[in-house]
């Protein structure tokens, strides 16, 4: 074989102006493959991105579904942007962003591969910290991201639930179906001390948080210490069904 020689790179070895190592079709193929991989990684999708092989003549799809231009737009939320604009509340923003990531990932997954996240929340903090405002924005966000069927936001309080006949609680749950049931000052339920609070919390509320978790979001709000002592302390099953937002 003839011996190869190397020479310093000179002007004569450079491509003429306006020319490229890749044809237009090859460049488009590489660019398309890069976009697919970036979008799939950001979405956290568990399925492997399409693998493509570039030849001089054309792009060949080896395996994996391709993203067609006609695919619907990925989920977005104006409520999420409003939450991001609030001062502080870093934990609130972190959880909100995680819900967005989940929504985008689910959007790109087959139905059989989707996993339902915990969408029941406990907003805990002192008076005047905006728990109710944040909860309402969460309700809107869940609907905008496609995680809930509608933007219903039915509000009640722990004190009102104590005065409600347990037989009427299912009707209250049904009125919020597809959206959110928000229980403010939930620590007032205090089921360990009030016989009326016990069935409403342990039998109906907890069962709904589990059995209706794909159709209904239950949000509770109150003082952190009180919720942990009076609700979580009364039944550990309640804590496992809610995601704390502080």
Question: pLDDT digit string (tens) for 8-62?
Answer: 544 444 545 555 444 555 445 444 554 544 444 444 444 444 444 443 433 333 3
What is the spatial distance between Cα 119 and Cα 99, in angstroms, rounded to a whole number? 9
How far from chain centre, in Å, is Cα 93?
A: 12
What angle is formed at CA 185 by the lines to CA 168 and CA 212, rounded to 5 degrees? 45
* Cα Rg of the chain, angstroms: 27
pLDDT-above-90 percentage for the chain: 42
- Is it the case that residue 197 has pLDDT exceeding 70? no
Q: Kindly list the distances between the CA atom of residue 180 and the CA atoms of 14, 88, 89, 148, 172, in Å, as whole numbers in the listed order.
A: 64, 25, 21, 9, 11
**DSSP percent split of the chain into helix, strand, coil, nearest 5:** 45, 15, 40
Element (H, E) at 208: helix 206-211
Q: At what angle do helices 90-108 and 24-43 cross, to 10 degrees?
A: 130
Q: Tokens 């005047």 identify what position?
A: 128
Question: pLDDT digit string (tens) for 57-109?
Answer: 333 333 333 343 334 567 889 999 999 999 889 999 999 999 999 999 888 88
């Amino acid at each position: 074989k003839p011996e190869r020689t190397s020479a310093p790179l000179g002007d004569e070895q450079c491509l003429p102006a306006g020319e490229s190592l890749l044809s237009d079709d090859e460049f488009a193929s590489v660019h398309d493959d890069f976009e697919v991989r970036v979008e799939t990684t950001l979405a956290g999708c568990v399925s492997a991105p399409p693998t493509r092989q570039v030849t001089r003549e054309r792009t060949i799809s080896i395996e994996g579904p391709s993203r067609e231009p006609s695919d619907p737009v990925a989920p977005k939320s104006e409520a999420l942007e409003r939450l991001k604009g609030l001062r502080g509340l870093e934990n609130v923003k972190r959880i909100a962003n995680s819900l967005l990531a989940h929504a985008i990932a689910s959007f790109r997954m087959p139905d059989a591969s989707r996993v339902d996240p915990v969408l029941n929340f406990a907003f805990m903090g002192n008076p005047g910290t905006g728990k109710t405002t944040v909860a309402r924005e969460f309700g809107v966000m869940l609907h905008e991201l496609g995680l809930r069927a509608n933007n219903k936001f039915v509000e009640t309080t722990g004190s009102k639930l104590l005065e409600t006949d347990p037989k009427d609680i299912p009707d209250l749950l049904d009125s919020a179906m597809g959206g959110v049931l928000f229980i403010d000052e939930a620590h007032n339920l205090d089921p360990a001390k009030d016989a009326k609070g016990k069935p409403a919390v342990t039998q109906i509320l907890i069962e709904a948080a589990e059995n209706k978790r794909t159709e209904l979001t239950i949000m509770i709000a109150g003082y952190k210490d009180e919720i942990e002592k009076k609700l979580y302390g009364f039944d550990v099953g309640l804590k496992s069904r809610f995601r704390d937002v502080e």
